[in-house]
Structure 1
Amino acid sequence: MLTMDTALYKLLAEYGFEPDMVMGHSLGEYAALIAAGVMPFAHALEAAAARGAEMTRVSVEDNGWMAAVMAPLSVIEETLKEVDGYVVAANINSYNQCVVGGASKAVEQAIQRFEKKGYRAVRIPVSHAFHTRIVAPASKPLRKVLDRLSISSPRIPLVANVTGELYPTGVEEIKDILERQIASPVQWVKGLETMHREGVRCFVEVGPKRALKGFVDDVLGDQPGVWSLLTNHPKTGELESFNQALCGLYAAGYGAVEHIAGSERRVEPAPVVVHDVRSSSGNDEGKCTYATVNRRFQ
């Protein structure tokens, strides 16, 4: 997944688009780290593999459940308070969709309560309740891996899952964020609001499917000047969806075009643009958002 995110990000660069700001969803935060220059690809790949391996090694009496819930955030928060046992909003994805996680019985009870209220809630088949305290034992082993990898201050602004705000610039603080990320909720709604506050207007999902595009539409769709695009959807086709994203970006005035007339060359710049990187169905593990600046299009 990380390799695919990075490949699509690099392919966009071939067509003149480079990020100005990035944000990644869960595993996708490591793709954002690459795009922001925090980690080289090889080191991000090692960290992502260690992250997955350490969470898999977590063995407790109850590994927990996760469930995707289609309901307003206020209803989700209210309903979770009614449940007996440990259950939290693990992925706060949009104003009308969340992934909840926690103790198996508590999540099962939450699903029943949502359904009784007329909302759709579907259990996600995962090994553990990610982004909850259940997988917290994986945090320290991951930190040991991070301590021996190459980590630098971001070259461009990067939004953190843990806070929904901009990443710190200190290397140790970056490691602290990544250590906490495993067992902390993904603050995707707050992150989108932060990106919009910082000037992001065009979001492009870079990776398979279209969940992140949908989250952008739900959270920011009523804001003037906001665009959302996707780059790779299997139902549309890989080449078709990527080409549609390029057409959408150029139609919106993003990127720079080089005009050649005889021996004269003229480059017309376009405004700054912002993008987004990847999403999967239900559990949104593995997404990242990024912004682009003008580059020559050949």
Structure 2
Amino acid sequence: MGKVAFLFPGQGSQVVGMGKELVEQEQIARAIFERADQTLQFSLSEVMLQGPEDTLKRTENTQPALVTMSTAVLQLFNEEGIQPDYVAGHSLGEYTALVAAGAMSFEDAVVAVRNRGLFMEEAVPFGEGAMSAVLGLERDVLEKACSFASQENETAELANLNCPGQIVISGSAKGVELAGVKAKEAGAKRVIPLQVSGPFHSSLMKPAAEKLEQVLSQLTITNAKIPVVANVSATVVQDAEEIQANLIKQVFSPVL
């Protein structure tokens, strides 16, 4: 039998009502939702199951909600004896990967990402940052398109290298708009503005990373029992200190 990898989603995959059937039918899943509520001291499960959507979409709610949902599914897999050989997660999903790898408790993970979301919101006022998906352009060409933003004292940077021909850029609203125009001029098939609340994975998030470092220093991160493929390097890590450093760097670095 081949190797098994668990991959956990990041922001954008949330939907009101997610986990409803699991909570109703599976005690293990229900217990995870209850633990999230107890840890955060408010009813995150109510936001997840009933909304409203605008409340769930706020990143300080979205992030712990997705970690909670993913961990509930993880526990069900574990109950069936299905264990991964490797784990990874897209951006926020890396925290659930660390829970799966035994490097972080579920409670510490939801505390970390709740604060991560709050710090991200604080770093750049709503409307001043943006992200866009660029289709059909090579990395080096898109980097040149982004460089035009800096010439106008704006910011546009590569944020998510999803696959060849699909890269997300992030930065100031004007910078991302300018880079998008240049990308189209360079031959991009499409430039799609994303419905996000901030310029995630850009240098504008460094203030959030500094605050997150303080929170992570108060939580417990141990060596991973299962290899974790890190966002910032696309390499396997298991050392606790390296994991913590990567989580801080991840906030303002591209997802590779």
TM-score range with shorter-chain normalisation? 0.5 to 0.7
**Which one of the candidate residues 179, 183, 202 is aligned to 1:110?**
179
The structure richer in helix per residue is: 2
Matched, 1:143 2:208: no
Q: Give 1 or 2 for the bigger CA radius of gyration.
A: 1
Q: TM-score, normalised by structure 1?
A: 0.58
Partner-residue secondary structure (3-state), 2:111: helix
| Count of residue pairs brought into register by the alignment | 186
- The answer to whether 1:89 aligns with 2:158 is yes
Q: State yes or no: 1:166 paired with 2:232.
A: no
Give secondary structure in 2 for the equivalent of 1:29: helix
User: Matched residues in 2 for 1:143 and 1:137: separation?
Assistant: 10
Q: Within 5 Å, give how 1:39-78 maps onto structure 2.
A: 39-59=104-124, 63-74=128-139, 75-78=141-144
Amino acid in structure 1 at the alignment position of 2:172: A
Deviations 1:166-223 (A, max 9, x none): 2251x33322111111111111xxxxxxxxxxxxxxxxxxxxxxxxxxxxxxxxxxxx
Alpha-carbon shift at residue 65 of structure 1 (Å): 1.2
Q: Distance in 2 between matches of 1:3 and 1:139?
A: 22
Q: Deviations over 1:105-145 (max 9, x none)?
A: 12101222333425111111222211111111011211111
Q: Which whole-Å CA distance do the structure 1 matches of 2:100 and 2:238 have between them?
A: 16
Distance verdict in 2 for CA 1:7–1:162, change over 3 Å: same
RMSD: 2.0
Q: Deviation above 6 Å: which 4+ runs of structure 1?
A: none
The answer to whether residue 145 in structure 2 is matched with residue 79 in structure 1 is yes
Greater Cα offset, 159-168 or 114-123: 114-123
* Residue identity opposite 2:98 in structure 1: L
Q: How many angstroms does 1:60 deviate by?
A: 6.0
Pairing 1:15–2:85 present? no
Indicate the residue corresponding to 1:218 in structure 2. Answer: none
**What do the CA deviations read for 1:34-83 (whole angstroms, capped 9, x no partner)?**
01111010111100111111111114698321101112434433433455
Partners of 2:133 and 2:194 within 8 A in 1: yes
- Out of 71-80 and 174-183, give the one that drifted further: 71-80
Contact 1:63 1:127 in 2 (8 A): no
Pick the structure with more strand per residue. Answer: 1
| Aligned match for 1:131, one of 190, 194, 201 | 201
Q: 1:156 to 1:132 in 2, by over 3 A?
A: same
